[in-house]
A and B are shown apart, each in its own frame.
Chain A
Amino acid sequence: MRRRLRGKGLALYSLLIYAILITPIVIVVVVSFNASEFVSFPPKAWSILWYKRALLNSEFIRAFSVSASVAGITTAVSLVVGTMASLAFVRYRFFGKNILRSLSVARLAFPQVVLGLALLQYFINIGYGLGVKALVLGHVVVTLPFVVQIVSATLYGFDRSIEEAARTLGAGPVRTFLRITIPVIRPGVLTAGIFTFILSFDNVGISLFVADARSVTIPVRMFLYIQENYDPSIAAISTVLIAFAVVLVLILARLGTLDKVFRGRSGTYR
């Protein structure tokens, strides 16, 4: 009897925490439907005028397209580089492997403001300049460890004899890679891709320093907007982004790879 109570107690506790976790997000969504200029919860009157205002705001639109293109390019680059690196880490032994791997893992928690600052100075000093190209490089640096983590986790469970079987059935190394290896690791790579896209889209630390006046990303644009304005158009934009995120998580859940995202973590911090 006590055991069941304890189990129920834990379950209740968890529900409470989950409620707290999603409360701020829910609040933002509700606030976005506020009719008045002042942010109040609960809203006294409902309207979707802030959505219209937000969508007409050219700065937001522009920031959205910057974020989307940066995220897209970052995802493509990170996936390729990260998958290649994962193949090397999981399947081969080579000089400097541990160091390279540790450096890669260390970046997972490294304070982004520091890196952002460093990249800012660096890009200017070597004459590379800021803007979209700098954003992409900065995002790649930060998202690469995630890709390596996730794809490596997939590769560890990979039964190599299916590649050997393909070889004995007449397929050369390239065909085996394309027809067998890639399709089998595809769920892991897809998960890594989705995660990278979101991380890049939401990135603040690096983007704050490395964007230039013409290419501000959405989170940074929102941050700047909040400094001066208090109307709910921020909430409207936020809700769009939240809906976006929820859809993506549901896709991830469908793929069945939600645990892989963090499974590899705790073993590899050392």
Chain B
Amino acid sequence: MGRSKGVRVLVLVLPILFVTLALFVAPLGYTFLTTFYYHPPGAIMEPILTTENYSKFLFDSYYWRVVGNTLMIGGVTTLITLLIGYPLAYQLARRPFLKTAQLVLLISPLLVNVVIRTYGWKVLLSDVGIINRALMAMGLTDSPIRLVNSIIGVFIALAHVLLPFMVLSISSVLEGIDESVIEAAHMLGASRIKAFLRVVLPLSLPGVIAGSVFVFVRSAGSFMVPALMGGGRVRTIPTLMYQYMSHLLNWPFGAVLAFFMTFLLVLIVLAFSSTAMRRQTRVEADEP
């Protein structure tokens, strides 16, 4: 590469390199370091190395339950958005009516901040909210179902927030599928359902995986929704982290929680992507 080109690339890339290193890698590295710091009672932290934060975390089953809860929320939210979102994505990609209007409807909630959206659900799902009143009026229940301040409310709000991402991810892949591939399947004798299951679905897998990874990480790592909708009953790592950082002022432990969650998420994402990739190649080998 010529010298002037090399200089040009360097100049173009330097800022993002700086941001990535100084504002992403370095802070995370530092946080990892602080997981070994000492938390003196009454103060925030001191640079004395200790493993007591880790032992506190690893040996108390309470924290493991919180971890499990967090992952469970991630998994369930992903499932919900996948099941609800796939048909929507299918329609958007292959048979859209008023596509621009649909995109507007899909994207505008994303531009409203999460506090507002969660607040809307709080009003809707509250004990005196319209849902409960309707249910009681129809005689389906005697007393209001607790939706707010419960994990169900968390699921609903999280799915609402993250659905557009799943839909857009899947639909953009579905759009790229050539119509003639499906037609070929029909000509070879496949019914509509068969053609969908054996041709369209596998081909849409990259979008499904990308969307699922995104939703999983975002929902497991969500703070605001469990904090507002969970009402203290729903404990996730992010809400716990916030507690330890702002109220208990135990930063090293907060860092352990942060680091551990990241570690877990990365593992799960990698495992998920690689098994999905293997499945995909197997499906491709099956097809003649």
Do A and B touch, yes or no (CB under 8 Å, in the complex)? yes
Say yes or no for B188: interface residue by CB 8 A criterion. no
Interface class of chain A by DSSP: helix
Are A7's CB and B95's CB within 8 A? Answer: yes
| B271 interface residue per 8 A CB criterion | no
Please give, as numbers and ranges, the residues of chain B lying within 8 Å of A35 by CB-CB distance: none
Given A84-B12, A104-B16, A235 contacting B119 (CB threshold 8 A) = yes
Q: Which residues of A lie under 8 Å from residue B106 when comparing CB positions? A: 18, 21
Taken residue by residue from 88 to 106, chain B's Cβ proximity to chain A (1 for < 8 Å, 0 otherwise) reads as: 1011100101001011111
Number of interface residues of A (CB under 8 A): 90
- B163 to chain A: closest residue by CB: A21
Residues of A within 8 A of B95 (CB): 7, 10-11
Q: How many A-B residue pairs have CB under 8 A?
A: 259
How far is B96's CA from A7's CA once the two chains are assembled, in angstroms?
Answer: 10
Q: Are A122 and B163 in contact (CB under 8 A)?
A: no
Contact: A21 with B209, CB < 8 Å? no
Q: Scan residues 13-57 of chain B and give those whose CB is less than 8 A from a CB of chain A.
A: 13, 15-17, 19-20, 23-28, 30-31, 34
B158 within 8 A of A: no
Contact A204 B115 (CB under 8 A): yes
Q: Tell me if B211 is interfacial: C-beta within 8 Å of chain A.
A: yes
Count of interface residues, chain B, beta-carbon cutoff 8 Å: 92
A113 and B238 contacting across the interface, CB-CB below 8 Å: yes
Chain B residues, Cβ within 8 Å of A39: 123
Residue contact B88 to A14, C-beta cutoff 8 Å: yes
Pick from A44-52, A154-162, A257-265 the stretch touching chain B: A257-265
Q: Which of A21, A27, A121, A266 contacts B206 (CB 8 A)?
A: A266
- Asked if A28 CB lies within 8 Å of chain B CBs, one says yes
In the complex, whether A202 has a CB less than 8 A from a CB of chain B is yes
Top 3 A-B pairs, shortest CB-CB distance: A111-B221, A24-B120, A202-B113
